[in-house]
Amino acid sequence: MKTMVAALMAAASCVGVAQARTGVEADRAAPVLTLDQAVAAAGGAAPATQVARAAIDAARAARDVAGLRPNPVAQGQVENIIGSGAFRGLRSAETTVGVAVPIETGGKRGARVAVAGAQLSRAELQAAITAADIRVQVTQLYVEAVAAERRLATARDQVRIAGDALHAASIRVQAGRASPLEQQRADVARVNAAANAERAGRLAQAARTNLARRIGQPVDGSLDDGLLDRLPVPMIGPDAPVRVAGTLAMAAADADLAIAEAGVRLARANRVPDLNIGPALRRLSATNDTAAVLSVSIPIPVFNNGRAAIAEATAQRRQAEAVRRVTALDVEQAVTDARAEVANAATMARAASGPALTAAREAARIARIGYREGKFGQLDLLDAERTLAETRLAAIDALASYQNARARLERLTAPVPNTGDHF
């Protein structure tokens, strides 16, 4: 009876492994969704991208509005009516019809265009920042999906190994070379391995679902599994100095400073009073004659002379300058920390996926052979298998940590795209 049970368990294990291999082969047959393809799909489907595009359209329209001249004003006036004596009724009415043309002075139109151009550049830069943020988010989800599938493969392999160990324990018990406790212990290990594989399967499916939700399309095919194994060549010597110029964060601070400087220029231009010239025609009803009229008006800056607006704009420029200096320090610190994190993650990934994993595999292989030949006890085998499983998972985590750290560093040092000059 025990022999039949052991045979059934081994057969079930083989069926599970065959199904897993069939699923893997099906995934490999499907088109591979690369990271760049996932990023491109996410960029087109992300609501943040639509927000950035709408902001660019609004800023471009605002720049067009800033370049428009003020509209002329049609004027009409009737004098000397409904009075007394000669001015009774409309007999002495004087009707004037004309146009008031505002003339901007002090370079107001150019200053408005400069502010709008700076705001358009900032909106385009924000779109680039949004794209960089989407890339790092998709990269993290993609790496997690690949790592989850590797954990699932490791868990399934542990199910196979546990099944083999149970089969070996059953043979030893039947031959009288071991106590039934070994078979029970091996069965517990197999059950735990199966439960862990079921858990890893759910996590892998959840990781794919999260990636599909982010990129806006189902992820049915296989992923680029080799992404995790791409480690850099170890660098010898001191790190290159941190250069924050040209990064997105510094470009954003520079764009905010440019907007503030353009605001100072606009405030100074608004301080210069505008002229209003009104050419018109006047008809005198008493003589039925027509005469030309020309009016010129200019506001008197008594209550609002523009000094407060200039002071406000100047303070905003000083604030933008201070924020730029703070941003430079923050970016330098963040890049330095990110470089150290990437280097440490690469070191851990090389160690975990290299010598440590090789040693754990060799120890597990020797323990399996020794257990079958009766040279090692079951506890030695279980300890070696547990160490191998933990080392494989540690290697996967280390490789994923490196890829995530590299993505964050690339986000910090992402170059500024050429959006043109709008000033």
Contact 175, 183 (CB under 8 A): no
Residue 7 has pLDDT above 60, yes or no: no
Place of tokens 């009724």: 89
375-387: average pLDDT: 77
Is the pLDDT reported for residue 414 higher than 80?
yes
Q: What is the pLDDT of residue 12?
A: 40
Question: Which CATH architecture does the domain made up of 71-103+272-303 adopt?
Answer: Single Sheet (2.20)
pTM: 0.78
Over residues 133-152, mean pLDDT: 95
Model pLDDT for residues 249-292, shown as the tens digit of each residue: 999 999 999 999 999 999 999 999 989 998 888 887 777 888 88
Report d(CA 280, CA 99) in Å as an integer: 6
pLDDT, tens digit, for every residue of 324-364?
A: 999 999 999 999 999 999 999 999 998 888 888 888 888 88
The residue among 53 and 6 whose pLDDT is bigger is: 53
Does 71-103+272-303 match 2-69+104-271+306-412 at the fold level?
no
Q: Is the pLDDT of residue 4 over 50?
A: no
Structure tokens at 366: 């020797």
pLDDT at 13 over 60: no
320 touches 260 (CB < 8 A):
yes
Domain ranges of the chain: 2-69+104-271+306-412, 71-103+272-303
How does residue 236 score in pLDDT terms, banded at 50, 70 and 90?
low
Pick 8 or 181 by higher pLDDT: 181
State the Cα torsion 78-80-82-88 to the nearest 10°: -140
Residues 113 and 25 sit within 8 Å (Cβ to Cβ): no
What is the arithmetic mean of pLDDT over 396-403?
A: 93
Residue-averaged pLDDT of the chain: 84
Q: Is the Cβ–Cβ distance between 254 and 261 less than 8 Å?
A: no
Q: Over pLDDT 90: what percentage of the chain?
A: 44
User: Quick check: 226 pLDDT over 80?
Assistant: yes
Q: What is the full DSSP assignment across 27-88?
A: HHHSPPB-HHHHHHHHHHH-HHHHHHHHHHHHHHHHHHHHTPPPPPEEEEEEES-S-SGGGS
pLDDT tens digits along 81-118: 776 666 666 767 788 888 989 999 989 999 999 999 99
In CATH terms, the superfamily for domain 2-69+104-271+306-412 is Outer membrane efflux proteins (OEP) (1.20.1600.10)
